Amino acid sequence: MDRRRLTRFAWLSVIAAVVTIALKLAAYLLTASVGLLSDALESLVNLAGALMALAMLIVAARPPDEDHAYGHGKAEYFSSVLEGTLILVAAVSIGVAAVRRLLEPRPLEQIGLGLGISIVASVVNLAVAVVLLRAGRRHRSITLEANARHLLTDVWTSAGVVAGVGAVALTGWQRLDPVVALLVAGNVVRTGLGIVRRSVAGLMDTALPEGEVRALREVLARHAESGAQFHALRTRQAGARRFVSVHVLVPGEWTVARGHQLLERIEADLRAALENVSVLTHLEPLDDPSSWADVALDRSTAAPDSFSREKPVRPPGPT
């Protein structure tokens, strides 16, 4: 799928945010519930996050150029970091409002109508979140997935607020409303930290998940039957694009053409094992000691006599 088409999902999120903000503000004005106000504030964060997601999806869809030879996929992480940060800011705002209302309780008004409007807003968020989550997983977009999870959190938050306001209506204890708002703030903090943590991991070139790396090693093990060995397998991810590099060691008597043919088959099989993967291979002779001197990421930092052979990838045998 053309990555530029993902922006339609971001537009859907923008529209949903505008609709839910209007609904939740109306619910707050009708009831004077600080819990419902906290819900509306979080929807403002949803709008800011959706606009940022839209902008970063547009940037991430740009093709590689002279200044960005590996593409622009990492732009998606900036959107996620900003959204996570805005979520944390909203949590602080919710907490402050809740503490004030806890110290100075006020009676709620028109509870039934206000809760009805809030529930409608939650249904809108739930529908959009399901669409975004499916699209994010299908197209490996951390921006869409983070936005979806934020909306899902908003749905559960709204459910908590509705429960709090309903409890006030049943018990008459006005402080239940701000207590629920504080619980909402705590949940929002947890979600924001999770989004920021995952985004930072992407910006730090964290390796692919263990299951995906295992799939790559299985491919290499199959090719080891030809007499080749492998080391310096490195992986990372930038948005939807995965990057894999590996050194392929072959017998010194092989011709360049034979080695090249092996690399072509290896790269094709690695690309078949994972979607959206760019593969870089490096051919080396098995019997040359210098072939084993480049296992470390920065070869120049180690003394020539300090290199130790990384355990090569070999075909699986009987145990």
Position 250 scores a pLDDT of 93
pTM attached to this predicted model: 0.64
Closest to 46 measured CA to CA, from 19, 6, 77: 19
Q: What is the mean pLDDT of residues 112-136?
A: 82
Position 194 scores a pLDDT of 81
Position 305 scores a pLDDT of 46
Q: Which strands make up the sheet holding 241-250, listed edge to edge? A: 229-238, 241-250, 277-285
Residue 266 has pLDDT above 80, yes or no: yes
Which domains, from first to last, does the chain contain? 3-203 (1.20.1510.10), 210-306 (3.30.70.1350)
Closest to 241 measured CA to CA, from 119, 67, 69: 69
Kindly state the percentage of the chain with pLDDT values over 90.
19
Look-up of token digits 């790396």: 213
Q: Are 167 and 52 in contact (CB under 8 A)?
A: no
How many residues appear in the chain? 319
Q: Are 10 and 98 in contact (CB under 8 A)?
A: no
What CA–CA distance (Å, rounded) separates 312 from 315? 10
Burial 43-65 (b: 16+ CB within 10 A, else e): bbbbbbbbbbbbbbbbebbeeee
| 309 token code pair | 């052979």
pLDDT classification of 114: cutoffs 50, 70, 90: low
Return left, alpha or beta for 202; rule: phi > 0 is left, psi -120 to 50 is alpha, else beta: alpha
